[in-house]
Amino acid sequence: MAAGATARLVVALVALLTFEIALVGLDAAFPPDLARAERSSPVVLDRNGAWLRALPVEQGRWRIRADLSRTDPVFVRRLVALEDGRFYLHPGVDLASAVRATASAALRGQITSGASTLTMQTARLLTPHRRTLAAKLVEMARALQLQARLSKPEVLALYLTLAPYGGNLEGVRAASLAYFGHEPASLTNGEQALLIALPQSPEARRPDRHAGRAKSARSWVLGRMARAALIDAESAAEADHEPLPVRRPFPSLAWHAAGALARAAPARTASVETNIDADLQRRLERLASAAARQGPGTQAAIVVAEIRSRAVRASVGSAGLDAAGGWLDMTRALRSPGSALKPFIYGLAMDDGLLAADTALDDSPRRFVDYQPENFDRLFHGRVTMREALVHSLNVPAVETLDRLGAQAFEARLTGAGARLVRPNARFKEAGLALALGGVGISLRDLAMLYAALGDDGLAKPLAWTQAEAARNLTAPGRRLMAPTSARAILDILREGPPPAGRAPPALTRKAPIAFKTGTSYGFRDAVAVGVAGGYVIAVWTGRADGGARPDLTARDAALPLLFDVADQIGAAASAPRPIAPRAAPGGLRRLDQGSGPRLIFPPNGATIQADGFGPASRGFALAAGGSGLSWYVDGAPVPQDPVSGQAIWRPAAPGFYRISVIDADGRGAEARVRVKGG
């Protein structure tokens, strides 16, 4: 007997083990399909928890991921108590309820009570199907699978993500915002009752279409809550008189940035907590819309970030979705910065010991190999200080400084700080001097990042879009773009720029000036203005999204007023300027070209030039060089100056080879050997 009993026990254990292995195998081979839950959208929230934007899913459905930490816990407790009282006890299927429902149906000849648990309902929502006995068995198996994979809170969150609430609303957050205008973090008794009633018959009970049925269903749930001692009778009666809601449109603030953050959120993320200030964002979107009236097809973009943590407080990607190009996020677009990179040329040159704020530079016609820059107004100012060159955005001094600094080195240092620079034909050509005047593509976001480094003593850090990123930035070491002394000196100079037309000077308003720089790209295609105001960096752009030209609209006219308007909206006082140092560069830095003598512009050394004629009656050549107090010589003979233009005009006597020399007021010289050919 003992041997037989042992044998039967072994057989039973083997059978049980085989059954369990088969179940595990079936579970692995046919896992529950969670794709529908994954095709849901997180909610992008502002810094105070206000809803910015969520994304619709297939067929325009608003399937918003539930966030139990932002859902009224009283509502959750009442939902569980009414829908699945033993939710926290069963493994996904409540066998006691199933037996009771089956017995009741057998005795009465019809179904009088259901046995679906919240987990089973979730399984049905994941893969909708007709309600048959076979489907119910599959549903039970799927519920067991779900409960084996997910915790009870995760199952609840999944149910509250998929539950239908009428029309294209799925999920308690979508329903709460659409019907009540707020997150389900705090719900009235009437709101809770309606949200519990709707998923059972979402279309028939929609409050915006079937108010009577919705009210009856809410009353029925309130009655159940009272009978279950979840609410007292007086509170239930009061809740029954709450007005029924109407459907509201969803918020859509920071449309571009919030949409990108929602799409990039990790799987099952319910809420993306950003640093954006919804109130500021709303005001700046109105400003951008007004700025777009500058001309046909004009768009505008704005980025505002707090310098300390680089937290982005506002990001306006366009002036509106109804305007041309409005769907494009122009804060991310690669556009020419015009002269907006000049402060970094001078700052890095200060770092390298090439110049100081009051080093003398030469603003006169000059050719740099095959590149000959001109100032915007096509006028030249002679000897100027670096301070004056930056304030007045002179081109030749910036190009000369970049030539000394090295265009490739400059590009590498900005790239090393985290900026993305895109040049035409970058695969085939090295960086050139056109970088100084906007010959590169850069986004408004990266411009804001670079100027934020100026405001943070030369330390570059990425912009922080989420609260977690901002917290990391507070402790991150960052990347050194330039020395603190150089960054402060550049900001001091940028504060000297005159405000836009119609703005009173800071001395009259008793406001500390904003440190800013503008940039206008070739053909007036892009107008940018970037500034540091108090603890914030502001970057604005106006232009056409298609890159079209806007004749005569400079950044000073089209972008700078918008920057000052944004600074007013921020409400932060501009940072006070540092004490002005004596305006005298150190002896070794009084001139950028110190010790190098005059610079020949025309004719360049080794050139072959063609003359229309020869002798005193010929048209001749106007000789040009950078420097002051210049005297010209050809083969040792002085070249006379033209009495009208004051230029040295050389009229060669015959074709041949010549040696041209120029000597400045300090006795320094330069020469070129050229060949002259006849016409």
Closest CA to 482 of 459, 500, 466, 463: 459
Q: Domain with 549 in it: what CATH number?
A: 3.40.710.10
Tens of pLDDT, residue by residue over 139-196, are: 888 889 889 889 999 999 999 999 999 999 999 999 999 999 999 999 999 999 999 9
> Which residue among 210, 239, 268 closes a domain?
239
pLDDT at 93: 87
Position 360 in a domain? yes
Q: Domain with 617 in it: what CATH number?
A: 2.60.40.10
Helix/strand/coil for 301: strand
Tens of pLDDT, residue by residue over 512-538, are: 689 999 999 888 899 999 999 989 999
What's the pLDDT band for 453 if we cut at 50, 70, 90? very high
Tens of pLDDT, residue by residue over 9-61, are: 666 655 655 544 544 555 555 567 788 888 899 999 999 999 999 999 998 99
What's the pLDDT band for 580 if we cut at 50, 70, 90? very low
Position 274 in a domain? no
How far from 572 is each of 113, 284, 500, CA to CA, in Å? 63, 15, 19
Position 267 in a domain? no
Q: Domain with 192 in it: what CATH number?
A: 1.10.3810.10
- Note whether 400 and 538 are same-domain residues: yes
- Note whether 440 and 512 are same-domain residues: yes
pLDDT at 239: 95
> Which residue among 558, 587, 616 closes a domain?
587
The single residue of 41, 97, 271, 339 carrying the catalytic annotation is 339
pLDDT at 509: 59
- Note whether 2 and 60 are same-domain residues: no
Active site (annotated) includes residue 83: yes
Per-residue pLDDT, averaged over 2-6, amounts to 70
Per-residue pLDDT, averaged over 319-336, amounts to 92
- Note whether 556 and 654 are same-domain residues: no
- Note whether 532 and 481 are same-domain residues: yes
Burial class, 20, CB count within 10 angstroms (exposed 0-12 / middle 13-18 / buried 19+): exposed
Least confident span in 68-72, 517-521, 617-621, 625-629: 625-629
Cβ pair 305, 313 in contact under 8 A: yes
Rounded-to-integer distance, Cα 211 and Cα 397, Å: 73
Least confident span in 201-205, 654-658, 664-668: 664-668
- Note whether 163 and 234 are same-domain residues: yes
Active site (annotated) includes residue 339: yes
Position 524 in a domain? yes
Tens of pLDDT, residue by residue over 549-577, are: 887 788 999 999 999 999 999 875 544 44
> Which residue among 523, 553, 587 closes a domain?
587
pLDDT at 87: 92
Extract the tokens encoding 481: 């773009």
Position 335 in a domain? no
Domain that holds residue 499: 342-587
Position 50 in a domain? yes
What's the pLDDT band for 583 if we cut at 50, 70, 90? low
- Note whether 523 and 553 are same-domain residues: yes
- Note whether 658 and 528 are same-domain residues: no
Tens of pLDDT, residue by residue over 380-394, are: 778 889 999 999 999
Cβ pair 258, 278 in contact under 8 A: no
Position 250 in a domain? no
pLDDT at 369: 65
pTM across the whole model: 0.79
The single residue of 83, 242, 273, 496 carrying the catalytic annotation is 83
Tens of pLDDT, residue by residue over 421-435, are: 998 877 667 778 889
What's the pLDDT band for 376 if we cut at 50, 70, 90? low
Helix/strand/coil for 102: helix
- Note whether 97 and 132 are same-domain residues: yes
Per-residue pLDDT, averaged over 55-72, amounts to 93
Task: Residue 301: count other Cβ atoms within 10 Å of its Cβ.
Answer: 30
- Note whether 234 and 137 are same-domain residues: yes
pLDDT at 338: 93
Least confident span in 52-66, 177-191, 347-361, 366-380: 366-380
ω before 638 within 30° of 0 (cis)?
Answer: no
- Note whether 452 and 429 are same-domain residues: yes
Least confident span in 6-20, 107-121, 123-137, 226-240: 6-20
Rounded-to-integer distance, Cα 536 and Cα 313, Å: 9
User: What is the average pLDDT value for the chain, to the nearest integer?
Assistant: 86
Count how many domains the chain has: 4
**pLDDT higher than 80, residue 223:** yes
What's the pLDDT band for 595 if we cut at 50, 70, 90? low
Position 503 in a domain? yes
Rounded-to-integer distance, Cα 298 and Cα 312, Å: 24
- Note whether 666 and 537 are same-domain residues: no
